[in-house]
Structure 1
Amino acid sequence: MAGKLYQLMSRMNLARNRSSSSSASAVDVPRGHFAVYVGESRKRFVIPTAYLKQPAFVLLLKRVEDEFGFDHRCGGLTIPCTEGDFTSIVYGMSSGDH
């Protein structure tokens, strides 16, 4: 799993570097964070890369990979769950409930 996440993060970084149109949105992602798009409306969340070490977040990514794969042609990592579910998972990690 770690190897696939590393490849995904590398591809996201390469795509960001190649596209001048996405460089404006890349500016608002601080070092040590990455952007994901959640739900049908593709709401953008910027989250710490440290979450990649959290079992709940890794499990979520594994489920997304198993069901949908990581080959997203529309750019960015898309997590197809509700914004409420995603917020609950992220809030649990940030409050120490993991």
Structure 2
Amino acid sequence: MGMGIIKIANAGQKLKRSITPKKNGFQGATNSPKKGHFAVYVGETQKRYVIPLSTLDHPLFRELLRWAEEEFGFDNSEGGLQIPCNEDYFEGLISLISAT
């Protein structure tokens, strides 16, 4: 269990680094999420969702990150955090997290 927490913490650090400003603009995509948010890619079509960083603290989202790590790993060549579920499931989960 300790290793899982470390991997989740490392994923959070990678997300924060990916949206940290650099001298020449933002690292990563040209349409970077606004401060305090990050992007994930969901489903077969890789639909992009921008969600608050505070979502990382929720146990349900942490479980989803574990699932993503098992499926894709965190060091993927696609350049974004991929979530291995369909869009309806993800939207329902985010709605549930937002309501708590």
TM-score, reference length from structure 2: 0.77
For 2:11, the equivalent position in structure 1 comes to 5
Preserved CA contact (<8 Å) 1:36 1:44: yes
Q: Decide which of 68, 93, 99 is 1:95's aligned counterpart.
A: 99
Preserved CA contact (<8 Å) 2:42 2:49: yes
- How many residue pairs end up in the alignment? 90
Give the secondary-structure state (helix, strand or coil) at the position aligned to 1:66. Answer: helix
Matched to 1:34, the amino acid is: F
Moved over 3 A (4+): 16-19
Residues 13-42 of structure 1, C-alpha deviation per residue, up to 9 Å, x if partnerless?
47x8455xx22x11xx11110011101101
Cα displacement (A) at 1:10: 4.6
For 2:58, the equivalent position in structure 1 comes to 54
TM-score, reference length from structure 1: 0.78
Q: Decide which of 66, 81, 86 is 2:85's aligned counterpart.
A: 81
Residues 31-74 of structure 1, C-alpha deviation per residue, up to 9 Å, x if partnerless?
11001110110101000000000000001001111232112211
Cα displacement (A) at 1:80: 1.8
RMSD, matched Cα: 2.0
Separation in 2, partners of 1:84, 1:49: 21
Matched to 1:65, the amino acid is: E
Preserved CA contact (<8 Å) 2:19 2:38: no
Preserved CA contact (<8 Å) 1:36 1:77: yes
Separation in 2, partners of 1:74, 1:38: 13
Preserved CA contact (<8 Å) 2:38 2:50: yes
Cα displacement (A) at 1:6: 3.2
